[in-house]
Amino acid sequence: MEHSTEKHMEDQPGHTYDFKILGRVYASLLFLAALMVGFFLLPIQRLPIDWLDLLLVKRLLILGCSLVMAAIVAGFLMGLKYEKSKLNSVIFFTNFAFLFVFLVFTLADVACRGIIDPSFMQQINWKSPVHIDSTADSTPTPIP
């Protein structure tokens, strides 16, 4: 099979990268990472609101940021947005369908464990290696 270099130069497979778009993608990823850390540092849970679980809201905001960042990475850095073959996108997204099935079945198990037979809640031969320290400080300092 003969292939000339000229022919290859003309026929570029795949999409063409745009430096401007790459720059914007990078800037938006850094912004979202900063936003995620910002949500973490913001003491939202101390607000005087008791009808809403603010800690859960904070967690959802942080995980929401990481979801958007993941979508940007998959779309632009992995090039899923430019894929001309739909099969590749189907392969990628089918994974999440399987993960969802895994999540639902495991959640069903965890949430209902011990309801039918309480013996399922018992830990068998379980010994924790943790030595409980009753005088421990409730706010430990971070270790680098």
Partner 1 sequence: MAATALQEHEVAHHFDDLEQEFDSHKLGMWLFVASEIMMFGALIVGGLFLLYLHPDAFAQGRPRLDWRLGALNTFFLLTGGFTMARAAAFAQKSDQRKIQQNLVLSLLFGFGFLVVKTIEYKAKFHHGLLPGPAFHGEGFTSLHAHVFFGYYFVSTGLHALHVLIGMGLMVWCLILSRKVKFTRSYYTPIELAGIYWALVDLVWLFLFPLLYLVG
Q: Closer CB to partner 1, residue 48 or residue 140? A: 140
- DSSP per residue, 27-60: HHHHHHHHHHHHHHHS-GGGSS--SS-HHHHHHH
> Between 87 and 126, how does the x/- string for binding to partner 1 read (CB under 8 A)?
xx--xx-xxx-xx--xx--xx--x----------------
The distance of closest approach from Cβ of residue 143 to partner 1 in the complex, given in angstroms and rounded to an integer, is 5
Sequence letter at residue 99: L
Radius of gyration of the chain (CA): 25
The distance of closest approach from Cβ of residue 3 to partner 1 in the complex, given in angstroms and rounded to an integer, is 5
45 touching partner 1, by CB under 8 A: no
The distance of closest approach from Cβ of residue 89 to partner 1 in the complex, given in angstroms and rounded to an integer, is 9
How far apart CA 74 and CA 9 sit, in angstroms, is 28
87 sits in which H/E element: helix 86-112
Q: Closer CB to partner 1, residue 41 or residue 116? A: 41
Binding residues with partner 1: total (CB under 8 A): 69
φ and ψ at 52, to 5 degrees?
A: -135, 135
48 touching partner 1, by CB under 8 A: no
62 touching partner 1, by CB under 8 A: yes
